[in-house]
Amino acid sequence: MKKVGIIMGSTSDLPIVRKAAEVLKDFGVPFEAHVYSAHRTPGEAKEFAASARDKGFGVIIAAAGMAAHLAGALAAGTTLPVIGIPISSSMNGLDALLSTVQMPSGIPVATVAVDGAKNAAFLAVQILAVEDAALAEKLAAQRAKNAADILEKDRTIMDNL
């Protein structure tokens, strides 16, 4: 199975990024996490992106706030899918969201909601599941369980009103 790279611009992003790691662990998807900044450690970020495919990565998740250039910088250095998590650090995360989503043609970054680490991990799992039938089955089972949980709540909602 391919690995997921989780790159955060700062350790202050760790509380959000931890949610992505939990989802990946639940699905048994291997991952590595690193702190590389697009601005403070551009060489290391560039090297990670350039070598990720050869090192067995299939998807990169990038979490950054404020200017949030990390996802775009990584996407510029690889042809692997990059998923950006805009982190709320100022302007309720709007600055990070716009920085993450507004990429030039040819260098896409899939972008989830501000602080949307869980969905970033689910999207990474879906991308890997394109070529991994067992992972696709785990996703289908998880969605079926979610649906059953909601339908059970629906059956009992009148008892709670």
| CA max distance for the chain | 59
Given phi > 0 = left and psi -120 to 50 = alpha, else beta, which region is 121? alpha
User: Per-residue pLDDT tens for 9-32?
Assistant: 999 999 999 999 999 999 999 999
Report residue 86 as tokens: 């805009």
Please provide residue 63's backbone torsions phi and psi, each rounded to the nearest 5 degrees. Answer: -115, 125
What pTM does this model have?
0.95
- pLDDT value for 90: 83
Of residues 25, 14, 12, 15, the one with CA closest to residue 4:
25
User: Per-residue pLDDT tens for 82-101?
Assistant: 999 999 988 999 999 999 99
Q: What is the mean pLDDT of residues 41-66?
A: 97
Architecture of domain 3-132: 3-Layer(aba) Sandwich (3.40)
**CB-CB neighbours of 61 under 10 Å:** 29
**CB-CB neighbours of 51 under 10 Å:** 12
User: Per-residue pLDDT tens for 96-148?
Assistant: 999 999 999 999 999 999 999 999 999 999 999 999 999 999 999 999 999 99
- pLDDT value for 39: 95
